């Protein structure tokens, strides 16, 4: 993984909304799964945008 990808991933995590952070730590498996899927989508989008930009 290159530095640009690491930077994009870190940026997504830093900007994650509070509901997502709370749900990632939730005991409710449905809430946790929803948050995991949302975070995964955000990460994929950030990586795809970086790839389109050439790096």
pLDDT at position 55 is 58
Do 45 and 16 meet the contact criterion of CB atoms below 8 Å apart?
Answer: no
Per run of 10 residues, the mean pLDDT along the chain (length 55 residues) is 90 96 97 98 92 74
pLDDT at position 13 is 95
Measured CA to CA, the distance from residue 9 to residue 33 in angstroms comes to 19
pLDDT at position 8 is 93
pLDDT at position 53 is 77
What is the pTM (predicted TM-score) of this model? 0.84
Tokens, residue 36 = 């995991």
pLDDT at position 50 is 79
Could you write out the DSSP letters of every residue in the chain?
--HHHHHHHHHHHHT--HHHHHHHT-S-HHHHHHHHHHHHHHHHHHHHHHHHTT-
């Amino acid at each position: 993984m290159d530095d640009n990808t690491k930077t994009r991933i870190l940026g997504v995590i830093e900007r994650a909304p509070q509901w997502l952070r709370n749900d990632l730590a939730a005991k409710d498996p449905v809430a946790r799964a929803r948050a995991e899927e949302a975070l995964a989508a955000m990460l994929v989008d950030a990586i795809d945008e970086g790839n389109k930009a050439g790096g």
